Structure 1
């Protein structure tokens, strides 16, 4: 005669009940419609895209978020759609427990604005092309000349150096790429031209320039120069 272990039977029944309740809850939760969608911009650059634009990408084929069922969402696809936007660096899309579709978006960081035969566009912090925005104009150096496969990476690094340095970011407003590959730069508050030379010894040249500037600004001699030559890493040559 078999003896039933009621303790094990109760545990088995409780386990089955938990599975049933979980499945039932998940099914009901999946069938629920979203309440709304919301967009949160993070980082320092939050002006190039409007929230309405991101919302439209999130629910592009729907009238509004409340018409979408939670179990019909493909969050990875939504993130891919947002990340493919030329203004967006990275996005994170998820649904909160209260039924709100949320997108956390980091916009790209422009570090230069290029003018060439293709028109005008930004170069972002990763060295990629970034379109202009109808909502905001970034205060970055204006660049003219040819950017190609040979100088692209070096120029992208140069733009990042300028952008990440508070002094250079404030003072360098223009860069001209010469046919021979050398660079000429222009300062915000003074009329002199900076002859930077080739894209080599970048850190050393900028260090020399900042040291010269801090010394020369004290005696107002900067107004007397027409050219500052940084091509020689051991010295700064000035022309009146």
Structure 2
């Protein structure tokens, strides 16, 4: 007759009981956690140096679209809906919304980044870091180069590349204050501290022209000649032509 190994059987039974207990406790805790009510909203901006949309606006959008936070359980909050609602706002690039264990509804918001402001017959708007048009903010005015003239389908890509280059260059970002798009398609620029105009020409060999301008500026400031010039011509990529 085969003998049962009661020790092994009892060990297996205890293991199954322990697993069952863990599953029960997890399920019980999970249900209690999901049933916990949302009790607070926190809005966090990834970069809050300049706010183009207010904390109050984001908070209001969450309240209006989340339902009654005082009575709704955590598991009833539709996070995708809230994220989509925030992402539809003109000043928001993307958002992440989640609920913490303690019932805190948190939204992490990344704003759109304007890189230039355009004045044209269509009105005034920003160009953002993705090359898209962005409306002006009601609470903040960005200090950016002013673009005068029409940005069309034909010149949109070239103008975005030029503006993005200026935005990401510390010297150009501080120095270039205005860009005028002439009927010929050439560009005329203004600078922050001096009275000369920059005749930039067409949007070709842009980086080389700016390198020429930086070299001229460094030498002219060093030689204290920069105040004497009225026009700095960068059209000819082999040289910088200065007019007093």
- What TM-score results when the alignment is normalised by the length of structure 2? 0.91
Determine if the alignment matches structure 1 residue 39 to structure 2 residue 39. no
SS at match of 1:60: helix
Say which is worse superposed, 127-136 or 37-46, in terms of deviation: 37-46
CA–CA distance in structure 1, aligned partners of residues 40 and 235 of structure 2: 58
Say which is worse superposed, 68-77 or 49-58, in terms of deviation: 68-77
CA–CA distance in structure 2, aligned partners of residues 32 and 234 of structure 1: 70
Q: Which residue of 2 aligns with 1:168?
A: 172
- What TM-score results when the alignment is normalised by the length of structure 1? 0.92
Q: For each residue in 1:180-233, what CA deviation from the matched residue of structure 2 results, as whole angstroms up to 9, or x when unmatched?
A: 221111111222111111111111111100110111123332222221110111
Q: 1:117-136 maps to which residues of 2 (within 5 A)?
A: 117-136=121-140
CA–CA distance in structure 2, aligned partners of residues 98 and 215 of structure 1: 61
Determine if the alignment matches structure 1 residue 92 to structure 2 residue 96. yes
Q: 1:71 to 1:63 in 2, by over 3 A?
A: closer
Q: Which residue of 2 aligns with 1:110?
A: 114
Instruction: Note if contact 1:92-1:103 (Cα within 8 Å) is conserved in structure 2.
Output: yes
CA–CA distance in structure 2, aligned partners of residues 62 and 78 of structure 1: 7
Q: For each residue in 1:144-191, what CA deviation from the matched residue of structure 2 results, as whole angstroms up to 9, or x when unmatched?
A: 111122221221111111111111111111111122221111111222
Q: Which residue of 2 aligns with 1:59?
A: 63
Gaps of 5+ in 2: none
Q: Which residue of 1 aligns with 2:72?
A: 68
Aligned length: 240
CA–CA distance in structure 1, aligned partners of residues 68 and 166 of structure 2: 43
CA–CA distance in structure 1, aligned partners of residues 110 and 92 of structure 2: 6
What is the RMSD computed on CA atoms of the aligned residues? 1.9
Larger radius of gyration: 2
Q: Which residue of 1 aligns with 2:14?
A: 10
Tell me how far 1:2 sits from its aligned partner. Answer: 9.2
SS at match of 1:80: helix
Determine if the alignment matches structure 1 residue 155 to structure 2 residue 155. no
CA–CA distance in structure 2, aligned partners of residues 188 and 30 of structure 1: 57
Determine if the alignment matches structure 1 residue 213 to structure 2 residue 217. yes
Gaps of 5+ in 1: none
Determine if the alignment matches structure 1 residue 194 to structure 2 residue 198. yes
